[in-house]
Amino acid sequence: MNLPPDHQALTDELTRLSGAFAELVLPLSAVQFHWQPAPGKVWSVGQCVEHLRRTNEVYLAALTAAAQKGGSQGPARRDALRPNRLGRWFVGMIEPPPRFRVPVPLPAMVPPSQGDPGTIWTGFLGTQAGIVELLHASVGLDLCGIRFRNPVAKNLPLFNLAAGFLILAAHERRHLAQARRVRELAGFPAS
Protein backbone atom coordinates (compact mmCIF):
# COMPACT_ATOMS: atom_id res chain seq x y z
CA MET A 1 0.00 0.00 0.00
CA ASN A 2 1.27 3.44 -0.94
CA LEU A 3 0.77 5.55 2.20
CA PRO A 4 0.91 9.32 2.58
CA PRO A 5 4.23 10.37 4.17
CA ASP A 6 2.70 11.14 7.59
CA HIS A 7 0.96 7.74 7.77
CA GLN A 8 4.17 6.04 6.66
CA ALA A 9 6.19 7.89 9.30
CA LEU A 10 3.80 6.83 12.06
CA THR A 11 3.75 3.25 10.76
CA ASP A 12 7.56 3.27 10.79
CA GLU A 13 7.58 4.63 14.35
CA LEU A 14 5.19 1.93 15.57
CA THR A 15 7.36 -0.69 13.86
CA ARG A 16 10.45 0.81 15.49
CA LEU A 17 8.76 0.74 18.89
CA SER A 18 7.77 -2.92 18.45
CA GLY A 19 11.39 -3.72 17.57
CA ALA A 20 12.74 -1.77 20.55
CA PHE A 21 10.36 -3.61 22.88
CA ALA A 22 11.37 -6.93 21.30
CA GLU A 23 15.06 -6.19 21.96
CA LEU A 24 14.21 -5.33 25.55
CA VAL A 25 11.70 -8.08 26.35
CA LEU A 26 12.56 -11.21 24.37
CA PRO A 27 15.90 -11.94 26.10
CA LEU A 28 14.29 -11.77 29.56
CA SER A 29 13.55 -14.74 31.77
CA ALA A 30 10.13 -14.85 33.47
CA VAL A 31 11.80 -13.70 36.71
CA GLN A 32 13.35 -10.70 34.97
CA PHE A 33 10.12 -9.93 33.10
CA HIS A 34 8.17 -9.70 36.39
CA TRP A 35 10.85 -8.21 38.66
CA GLN A 36 9.74 -5.04 40.45
CA PRO A 37 12.18 -2.82 42.32
CA ALA A 38 9.34 -1.56 44.54
CA PRO A 39 6.22 -3.75 44.30
CA GLY A 40 3.10 -1.66 44.22
CA LYS A 41 5.06 1.50 43.39
CA VAL A 42 7.30 0.75 40.40
CA TRP A 43 6.18 -1.47 37.55
CA SER A 44 8.09 -4.40 36.12
CA VAL A 45 9.01 -4.61 32.43
CA GLY A 46 6.11 -7.03 32.04
CA GLN A 47 3.68 -4.61 33.64
CA CYS A 48 4.78 -1.86 31.26
CA VAL A 49 4.09 -4.12 28.27
CA GLU A 50 0.76 -5.36 29.67
CA HIS A 51 -0.32 -1.79 30.47
CA LEU A 52 0.41 -0.81 26.87
CA ARG A 53 -1.55 -3.79 25.57
CA ARG A 54 -4.54 -2.89 27.72
CA THR A 55 -4.37 0.83 26.91
CA ASN A 56 -3.93 0.19 23.19
CA GLU A 57 -6.93 -2.13 23.24
CA VAL A 58 -9.17 0.47 24.93
CA TYR A 59 -7.99 3.30 22.66
CA LEU A 60 -8.20 1.14 19.55
CA ALA A 61 -11.89 0.47 20.22
CA ALA A 62 -12.59 4.21 20.59
CA LEU A 63 -10.53 5.14 17.52
CA THR A 64 -12.15 2.41 15.42
CA ALA A 65 -15.67 3.54 16.35
CA ALA A 66 -14.87 7.15 15.44
CA ALA A 67 -13.17 6.17 12.18
CA GLN A 68 -16.15 4.04 11.15
CA LYS A 69 -18.58 6.82 11.96
CA GLY A 70 -16.40 9.46 10.32
CA GLY A 71 -15.90 7.32 7.24
CA SER A 72 -19.62 7.14 6.64
CA GLN A 73 -20.25 10.83 7.32
CA GLY A 74 -17.10 12.87 7.07
CA PRO A 75 -15.14 14.55 4.33
CA ALA A 76 -12.08 13.02 2.74
CA ARG A 77 -8.54 13.59 3.97
CA ARG A 78 -7.42 17.19 3.77
CA ASP A 79 -4.49 17.67 6.14
CA ALA A 80 -1.52 15.69 7.37
CA LEU A 81 -1.71 14.00 10.78
CA ARG A 82 -1.94 16.99 13.05
CA PRO A 83 -3.44 16.82 16.53
CA ASN A 84 -5.85 19.49 17.65
CA ARG A 85 -4.55 21.94 20.28
CA LEU A 86 -5.61 19.91 23.32
CA GLY A 87 -4.32 16.74 21.68
CA ARG A 88 -0.96 18.36 21.00
CA TRP A 89 -0.70 19.35 24.67
CA PHE A 90 -1.64 15.82 25.79
CA VAL A 91 0.90 14.18 23.48
CA GLY A 92 3.58 16.51 24.84
CA MET A 93 2.58 15.71 28.41
CA ILE A 94 3.06 11.97 28.00
CA GLU A 95 6.25 12.05 25.93
CA PRO A 96 9.36 10.88 27.77
CA PRO A 97 11.05 11.90 29.88
CA PRO A 98 8.04 12.07 32.19
CA ARG A 99 7.70 15.35 34.02
CA PHE A 100 5.39 13.80 36.60
CA ARG A 101 3.74 10.52 37.39
CA VAL A 102 0.30 10.07 35.85
CA PRO A 103 -2.10 7.71 37.63
CA VAL A 104 -3.71 5.05 35.46
CA PRO A 105 -7.13 6.52 34.64
CA LEU A 106 -9.12 3.30 34.16
CA PRO A 107 -9.03 0.08 36.19
CA ALA A 108 -9.03 -1.89 32.92
CA MET A 109 -5.59 -0.40 32.12
CA VAL A 110 -3.94 -1.43 35.40
CA PRO A 111 -1.59 -4.36 34.76
CA PRO A 112 -1.36 -7.30 37.17
CA SER A 113 2.04 -8.08 38.67
CA GLN A 114 2.12 -11.56 37.12
CA GLY A 115 1.06 -13.29 33.92
CA ASP A 116 2.47 -15.44 31.17
CA PRO A 117 5.21 -13.41 29.45
CA GLY A 118 4.47 -15.02 26.07
CA THR A 119 0.77 -14.20 26.27
CA ILE A 120 1.48 -10.62 27.35
CA TRP A 121 4.00 -10.14 24.54
CA THR A 122 1.73 -11.67 21.88
CA GLY A 123 -1.16 -9.51 23.09
CA PHE A 124 0.94 -6.37 22.83
CA LEU A 125 2.01 -7.26 19.28
CA GLY A 126 -1.64 -7.88 18.41
CA THR A 127 -2.63 -4.40 19.51
CA GLN A 128 0.30 -2.94 17.57
CA ALA A 129 -0.93 -4.70 14.44
CA GLY A 130 -4.45 -3.40 15.12
CA ILE A 131 -3.23 0.19 15.39
CA VAL A 132 -1.29 -0.07 12.13
CA GLU A 133 -4.22 -1.74 10.40
CA LEU A 134 -6.59 1.03 11.51
CA LEU A 135 -4.09 3.71 10.52
CA HIS A 136 -3.84 2.19 7.03
CA ALA A 137 -7.62 1.82 6.76
CA SER A 138 -8.01 5.49 7.72
CA VAL A 139 -5.83 6.91 4.94
CA GLY A 140 -8.74 8.54 3.13
CA LEU A 141 -10.33 10.01 6.26
CA ASP A 142 -9.93 13.51 7.61
CA LEU A 143 -8.17 12.45 10.81
CA CYS A 144 -7.82 16.10 11.83
CA GLY A 145 -11.56 16.72 11.56
CA ILE A 146 -12.96 13.56 13.13
CA ARG A 147 -13.08 13.48 16.92
CA PHE A 148 -13.11 10.36 19.07
CA ARG A 149 -14.57 9.76 22.50
CA ASN A 150 -11.50 9.56 24.71
CA PRO A 151 -11.89 6.63 27.10
CA VAL A 152 -9.56 8.21 29.68
CA ALA A 153 -11.42 11.54 29.66
CA LYS A 154 -14.95 10.39 30.51
CA ASN A 155 -15.56 9.55 26.84
CA LEU A 156 -15.59 13.22 25.87
CA PRO A 157 -14.71 13.98 22.23
CA LEU A 158 -11.73 16.16 23.17
CA PHE A 159 -9.17 14.93 20.63
CA ASN A 160 -9.17 14.34 16.92
CA LEU A 161 -8.18 10.97 15.47
CA ALA A 162 -4.74 12.28 14.53
CA ALA A 163 -4.14 13.03 18.22
CA GLY A 164 -5.37 9.56 19.15
CA PHE A 165 -2.81 7.82 16.97
CA LEU A 166 -0.02 10.14 18.14
CA ILE A 167 -1.02 9.63 21.79
CA LEU A 168 -0.57 5.87 21.40
CA ALA A 169 2.93 6.27 19.98
CA ALA A 170 3.96 8.78 22.67
CA HIS A 171 2.55 6.54 25.38
CA GLU A 172 4.60 3.62 24.07
CA ARG A 173 7.76 5.75 24.04
CA ARG A 174 7.06 6.74 27.65
CA HIS A 175 6.72 3.14 28.85
CA LEU A 176 9.63 1.92 26.74
CA ALA A 177 11.81 4.42 28.60
CA GLN A 178 10.30 3.26 31.90
CA ALA A 179 10.96 -0.41 31.13
CA ARG A 180 14.55 0.40 30.12
CA ARG A 181 15.08 2.19 33.45
CA VAL A 182 13.86 -0.90 35.32
CA ARG A 183 16.36 -3.09 33.47
CA GLU A 184 19.18 -0.71 34.38
CA LEU A 185 18.52 -0.77 38.14
CA ALA A 186 21.17 -2.28 40.38
CA GLY A 187 18.91 -5.02 41.77
CA PHE A 188 17.70 -6.28 38.39
CA PRO A 189 18.11 -10.09 38.38
CA ALA A 190 21.00 -11.55 36.37
CA SER A 191 18.71 -14.24 34.93
Instruction: Read off the pLDDT of each residue in 93-121 and give the average, rounded to a whole number.
Output: 90
Share of the chain above pLDDT 90, in %: 80
Least-confidence region, from 44-58, 143-157, 169-183? 143-157
Domain boundaries, the chain: 5-184
Distance CA(115)–CA(92), nearest Å, equals 31
In one-letter notation, the amino acid at residue 184 is E
Question: What SS3 class is residue 92?
Answer: helix
- In terms of residues, how long is the chain? 191
Share of the chain above pLDDT 70, in %: 96
Distance CA(148)–CA(158), nearest Å, equals 7
Instruction: Read off the pLDDT of each residue in 4-32 and give the average, rounded to a whole number.
Output: 96
Least-confidence region, from 40-44, 113-117, 134-138? 40-44
Reported confidence tier of residue 77, pLDDT bands at 50, 70, 90 = low
Dihedrals φ, ψ of 168, to 5°? Answer: -60, -45
Beta-bridge mates of residue 148: 159
Q: Is residue 98 predicted with pLDDT exceeding 90?
A: no
Fold for the domain defined by 5-184 = Four Helix Bundle (Hemerythrin (Met), subunit A) (1.20.120)
Higher-scoring residue by pLDDT: 38, 30: 30
Instruction: Read off the pLDDT of each residue in 29-44 and give the average, rounded to a whole number.
Output: 93
Looking at residue 103, its pLDDT comes to 82
Question: What SS3 class is residue 42?
Answer: coil
Instruction: Read off the pLDDT of each residue in 168-178 and give the average, rounded to a whole number.
Output: 97
One-character DSSP codes across 153-164: TTTEEEEEHHHH
Looking at residue 12, its pLDDT comes to 97
